[in-house]
Structure 1
Amino acid sequence: MELCINRNTTITTTIRIKSVRKAVENLKRDLCKSCLETKLPGAEICLVEYEQEKECYQLIAFNNRLEIRAKDEFGFIYGIYEVSRRILGIHEFWFWNDQKIIPQNEFRLPEDYFYQSTPFKVKYRGWFVNDEVLLNSWYVERKKSKPWEMLFEALLRLGGNMVIPGTDKNSNTYRDMASEMGFYVSHHHAEPLGAEMFARQYPNLSPSYDEHAEKFEKLWQDGIQKQKKMKVIWNLGFRGQGDCPFWDNDPRYQTDEARGALMSDIIQKQYDMVKQNDGNAICCTNLYGETMELYQKGFLKVPKDIIKIWADNGYGKMVTRRQNNHNPRIPSLPTKGEKGSHGIYYHVSFYDLQAANHITMLPNSIAFIKKELDKVIKCNASDFWIINCSNIKPHVYLLDYISKIWKCDSMDSEVFKNNYVTNYYGSKYQEEIIKCFDAYSKYALSYGNKEDEHAGEQFSNHVARTLASQFMKDRTKHAESLLWFRNTNNLIDQINSYKNMCINATDNYDKYLKMCELTVHSLDHNSEELFRDSLLLQARVHYYCFKGASLLCEGLLEAEKENYKQSFYLVGKAKKNYLQANHELRAREHGKWKNFYQNECLTDIKQTAWVLSGLMSYLRNMEDGPHFYQWQREFLYAPEDSKVMLILNMENHLTDDEIFSLMEERYD
């Protein structure tokens, strides 16, 4: 006799845990989404307490009902969402990938149906919702909190049990929701103990621990009290009042020894405060950037039982990150046999104002990520994985892949790609779409000679803005902040190097864009919409931004030769490409995605266009100022009138954009 799961299926439980109840309500919603109305009775789904390993569950058909058997909170939550996935066909990123759910009359299970989950490879695993500027101004169902609820649901479906629920004010706003949905909450490495930032509480005081130790400690104690009733993994440490070293604000600490000593003392103090409140408290600390260097040199001492979190460089490589022009690339993993508990902070999205990805996918391949995470597992750094997930939607592909690894320590990339594309795009066009996913990293720009040094969209925007700004400030000097990619004291050398890279990138993305456009025209409607929202959109963003960057460089080089008119025109063309890239983002804001990209303020493609508007005004002033009538006469008047200047101009002065439009008419 088969079990019939349908619209009339009931879910029964005596479990009162709020997070489990929330998951039950979501399963009821999923039944309504996936099942047609019927008068036929449906089998019961019942939650049963049963001896299991921690976080594990069974699904078993028994006496005309489907039992979800588990011992603990997470076991039940994961079992509930597994019913949704395995039986109803609702996948982990159904919300974020707009999965097309086609309701069925019923779902039948054999009477001997049985499934047993296995323990997770990684003990604490989850997301850091960081640089979340797109989520910050996006409403779903007129609720600002709804995207966060769906974010937390997706993470639970992936088997996550831990989250840093946003940055700065957001972490306080969404901490309660995360806790109520069952998560351990943790903290940004610059916000120890989840406490209020010193500079916000005391804006007129120097953020010096030496001067105001009691005030810092009061903030930490208050943070502990606010989270007393939550499951917390306490992050200990001491960085500056931004995402920077504390010694940037306190010049008294100029040696590694002094810096390490202060941080060691503070971490011990925070540790003691947490343990006084809860002797079983779980603590961690980030060995990130400058902190890792101090630890490797032996200047940072931490309590033996806290989890040490090692970090990638923002590009998926387990080495220290580049900060400004400093790029030591020190291996960032525990040495073989190093005692204690270890974990990682890993990025699928990063923000460094240099070359990282934020609104596009990580430009490195799944094979590369697998290799790096295999190293992590071999080093026994499997106690804690926090993945920087940014704004979710641009990064679901890699977030899904990493979640498969934290479940079972390895995941064949080909199997994953086949499953992912089938689940969200359908099996009909699987081969073509997989080729587009694979080609994404192959066409990415290599800006250095290391395997991870591939450029995200920040490279085509932040570097471009820096060069334009430096040219206007002082073209006789190089851009100091760009020595990381071109170590020269000559601005023109920097511009030429960047131009060559961007021309190469434009050629590559032209090929990739054509590949994606050819693919999208062969897809059916359901697959086409998601493909346009994901790979095709990102291909267009990269193409137009790199095209804009290469035109900007050509314009700057013309300006250096004092060909200001030609320079103005080329910079105008560059601006037009950046505006087109921004338009491509906004054009994909259909349905619930309305205004998703309106607050794209970190890469900020539209700001790049704004900076180029300023550059156009600067260039026009160099030749057409201060009275601004010569270019207007040249491009607006007929040739026989342009040189007759009895009256300088008979019309209002044209704006830069109007002059550019006239140039386009003539030159194009």
Structure 2
Amino acid sequence: MKKIILPLLVVFSTWSLFGQTDFSVDHLVNEKGTGKDFALFKNGSAANILVDPKDDKTIILVTGLFSDDVHRVTGIRPEVKSEPGSVSKNCVIAGSIEGSRFIKELVKKHKIDVSKVKGQWESCLIQVVDKPFKGIDRALVVAGSDRRGTSYGLLEISKQIGVSPWYYFADVPVKKHDELMIKSGSHIMKSPSVQYRGIFINDEMWGIRPWAEKTLAPQEGKGLGPTTYRKIFELLLRLKANFLWPAMHLNTKPFNFYPNNKLVADSFAIVMGSSHIEPMLRNNMRHAEWDAEYPGESFNYVTNRDHICKYWEKRVEENGKYENIYTLGKRGQDDEPGKEITVPVLEQVISDQREILRKWANKDVTKVPQVLILYTEVLNLYNQGLKVPEDVTICWPDDNFGNIRQLPNAEEQQRSGGSGIYYHFQWLNGATTAYPWLYTTSLGLTWMEMKKAYDHNARKLWIVNVGDIKPYEIGIEFFMRMAWDMSKFKKNNPRKFLIDWASRDFGPEYALRIADVMEKHYDLAYARRPEQMMMFRRGVKSWEWFSIDNYNDEAQKRIDAYDTLIKQVDKIYHSLPDKYKDA
């Protein structure tokens, strides 16, 4: 009889497990839960965290960040353990499906069903499980399809318990709790809408470079070293981003000047790339890598092809074992056209670069992520008939002001390499058109352009130029949320985003007023960005964008609108509790 009953119990329990309803991960946390929920923190005690030490290093690192976050919120730091026999009866079990022996065992015992997650890109299952192992009464299981999927799952919980992604870069205070309960059930974090989602740190001489040099890491000199990038990479993971073009402005030490930068990037599972003037992960700015390694030589592919190929090959040899997206093509040494570059020359450049990748990255070059960025003159060359290998991602640019210049046609949308977008929240190029100091690109414009791009199947890669990161926090998060889950952005509703963001980081009692201020700020800036008030016509400077003679003194009305806005900001600021004022 026992031989019949036991198999039936296994079958019934399996039916129950595989027939259960899956929920999204949008609402995981209950401050005061029910008996069915998981106690992450209760009665002064925090659940231990169980992780396989042989799992990916990124998961080990992010488990530590998660422990730090629980400590920030509760004052108690959960212990991270490596064996089931040493953990508390209530514990978190975190790991990747392929890399964690604990997750594999739970799957084998039919404690969790990972069929909707396994093999997916950056996906995750979050589930409360009873009696996962001997001696453990209950566990919160975070099982990722890969190292980033697991990390995003843990950091999503961090965000929902009260740690804003901007707790460091924007000084958003952590919300304290006496009790943290995670809802029971099976919660699925689906794969992202856009595969690669990242930022470009650019024109960094105003803020982040001097801050790093003089405050955060003076020992690392005039550049962004591993101390600074460690903070940036953490921010990217918290925003569910996975991709970076590093700082490369004139006189900034190149990313690879610091040998540990690429190691830190890999430890955070950040995919590295390089901008449209830095093919093959090489910084070509004056006094940077080309000038240092080939002093006095021309950066001209027609006349100096051998040395330029060796220059590129050396970098791929050094960095090829890490996750990279290789920028192909060639422009000038600085942010300028390559004078020798024509359609035939550029096709030869791309062919040579792919041979280098075939040698050092993968013999099957179609499996190496590559991108051609159609910035400025390169877009013109493409439209003249430039042939791009099918597996190479084509990255379509905006006009530097948030309006996408061109999108793929029906045939281009079917390319195996897919399409990407290079977008701008700031630009530095001349006194009349630069806008590097204020975030003035309206969320409505960003939504319209990126939704249009997504609808044209530009879903492989989104990257946005964010200057120094500050003051573009709102735009960065809006951009990354769209890239992560476009299903939540079918309609243009920037006000809802602003209210949700302000509620999370400042409190719901201030959210409506903050949203009102930001909407008015974007409206005024849409007419003319504050940094672009100068005109330059025929060698003469003037400031006549807004008339003092017409439209009932248009200029004065604009001044009055900004004066009213400043007063509203001041009123909100003085009403905030002190802990929020730095944010």
**In which range does the TM-score fall when normalised by the shorter chain?**
0.7 to 0.9
Structure 2 partner of 1:162? 243
Tell me how large the CA RMSD over aligned residues is: 2.7
Structure 1 partner of 2:276? 189
Tell me the distance in 2 between the aligned counterparts of 1:38 and 1:32.
4
Structure 2 partner of 1:215? 307
1:174-228 alpha-carbon deviations (Å, 9 max, x no partner): 3332222101111121111013533342231222222211110110100111112
Structure 2 partner of 1:132? 204
Larger helix share, 1 or 2:
1
Instruction: Select which of 224, 235, 240 maps to 2:316.
Output: 224
1:329-360 alpha-carbon deviations (Å, 9 max, x no partner): xxx21123324211011111222223232121
Instruction: Select which of 29, 40, 61 maps to 1:5.
Output: 40
Tell me the distance in 1 between the aligned counterparts of 2:446 and 2:316.
36
Matched letter for residue 443 of structure 1 = L
Matched, 1:514 2:564: yes
Instruction: Select which of 192, 197, 215 maps to 1:120.
Output: 192
Structure 2 partner of 1:359? 437
Tell me the distance in 1 between the aligned counterparts of 2:376 and 2:578.
41
Unaligned runs of 5+ in 1: 248-252, 320-331, 447-453, 465-481, 534-668
Larger strand share, 1 or 2:
2
Instruction: Select which of 478, 491, 500 maps to 1:419.
Output: 500
1:280-337 alpha-carbon deviations (Å, 9 max, x no partner): 2111111011100111122x22212100101111111002xxxxxxxxxxxx211233
Matched letter for residue 346 of structure 2 = M
Matched, 1:83 2:157: yes
1:492-533 alpha-carbon deviations (Å, 9 max, x no partner): xx5364685999667525422432323432456656776776
Q: 1:528 to 1:372 in 2, by over 3 A?
A: farther
Tell me the distance in 1 between the aligned counterparts of 2:78 and 2:194.
44
Matched letter for residue 520 of structure 2 = A
Q: 1:213 to 1:501 in 2, by over 3 A?
A: farther
Tell me the distance in 1 between the aligned counterparts of 2:463 and 2:176.
35
Matched, 1:107 2:180: yes
Unaligned runs of 5+ in 2: 1-34, 80-87, 98-113, 131-137, 221-225, 285-289
Tell me the distance in 2 between the aligned counterparts of 1:151 and 1:29.
17
Structure 2 partner of 1:375? 452
Q: 1:504 to 1:175 in 2, by over 3 A?
A: farther
Secondary structure of the residue aligned to 2:508 is coil
- Which deviates more from structure 2 when the two are superposed, residues 415-424 or residues 32-41? 32-41
Tell me the distance in 1 between the aligned counterparts of 2:542 and 2:437.
25
Secondary structure of the residue aligned to 2:166 is coil
Q: 1:202 to 1:399 in 2, by over 3 A?
A: same
1:16-72 alpha-carbon deviations (Å, 9 max, x no partner): 322111111111111111013499978311114443122111111112211101221
Matched letter for residue 208 of structure 2 = L
**2:48–2:78: 8 Å Cα contact kept in structure 1?**
no
1:552-598 alpha-carbon deviations (Å, 9 max, x no partner): xxxxxxxxxxxxxxxxxxxxxxxxxxxxxxxxxxxxxxxxxxxxxxx
**Structure of greater relative contact order (alpha carbons < 8 Å, 6+ residues apart):** 2
Matched letter for residue 430 of structure 1 = A
Secondary structure of the residue aligned to 1:102 is coil
**2:171–2:582: 8 Å Cα contact kept in structure 1?**
no
Instruction: Select which of 331, 335, 348 maps to 1:239.
Output: 331
Question: What is the percent sequence identity of the aligned residues?
Answer: 21
Tell me the distance in 2 between the aligned counterparts of 1:151 and 1:39.
25
Q: 1:179 to 1:501 in 2, by over 3 A?
A: farther
Tell me the distance in 2 between the aligned counterparts of 1:146 and 1:180.
13
Matched letter for residue 194 of structure 2 = V
Tell me the distance in 1 between the aligned counterparts of 2:89 and 2:496.
34
Matched, 1:435 2:516: yes
Shift of 1:365: 1.7
Shift of 1:236: 0.6
Give the TM-score taking structure 2 as reference length: 0.75
Matched, 1:261 2:296: no
Count of aligned residue pairs for this structure pair: 474
Tell me the distance in 2 between the aligned counterparts of 1:38 and 1:149.
21
Structure 1 partner of 2:10? none
Tell me which structure has the larger Cα radius of gyration: 1
Secondary structure of the residue aligned to 2:463 is strand
Q: 1:490 to 1:136 in 2, by over 3 A?
A: closer
Secondary structure of the residue aligned to 2:181 is strand
Tell me the distance in 1 between the aligned counterparts of 2:78 and 2:354.
59
